[in-house]
Structure 1
Amino acid sequence: MEVLIFRTNIRFKKDLRPVSAVLDKMPGILRWNVDREDTDKVLRIESRSIPPADIIKNITSAGFHCEELPD
């Protein structure tokens, strides 16, 4: 299992619906959450070997900014 961390602009509870629609369809994602209180609106994903670029592409397609945070 690996943990991926991203900076996003997912600010509101209503924003979670389109994000959930995208992430819940991706095989290999075990758990995910968004810390909307953090200034970086951190998306944390526990997964089985999903390339970060795939996450970024899918979150972007849902209409949100997403960039991987370095370790």
Structure 2
Amino acid sequence: MKTVLVFKTSVRKRGKVNYLAPYLNELINDHGRWNFDLEDCDNILRIETQKPNPSAVSTLLTQRGFFCEELH
């Protein structure tokens, strides 16, 4: 069963999404998929995965200089 994780982020540009893509692909691997909604005021990152690990996602973005907060 897949879980959907939703994060508020500070990622605002497509170039930053491209920068983060390899890291998110490695983290999510073959266990799901992810996408950013840059038109949303909270620059939402949605991750659909069979192996949810919200703290790993937050850490990944934070270590690369972005704000990231899981929304419940």
Tell me, yes or no, whether TM beats 0.5: yes
Deviation at 1:48, TM superposition (A): 1.5
Extract structure 1 runs of 4+ deviating beyond 6 A.
Answer: none
Tell me the equivalent position of 2:52: 50
Q: Deviations over 1:4-44 (max 9, x none)?
A: 00000110111112211210111354111000010000000
Tell me the equivalent position of 1:30: 32
Identical residues among aligned pairs (%):
36
Q: Number of residue pairs matched?
A: 70
Report the Cα distance in structure 1 between the residues aligned to 2:39 and 2:31, rounded to whole angstroms.
Answer: 23
Unmatched runs of 5 consecutive residues or more in structure 1:
none
More helix by share: 2
Contact 1:8 1:67 (8 Å CA) reproduced: yes
Residue 3 (1) aligns with residue 1 (2): no
Q: What TM-score, normalized by structure 1, do the two folds share?
A: 0.88
Tell me the equivalent position of 1:16: 17
Unmatched runs of 5 consecutive residues or more in structure 2:
none
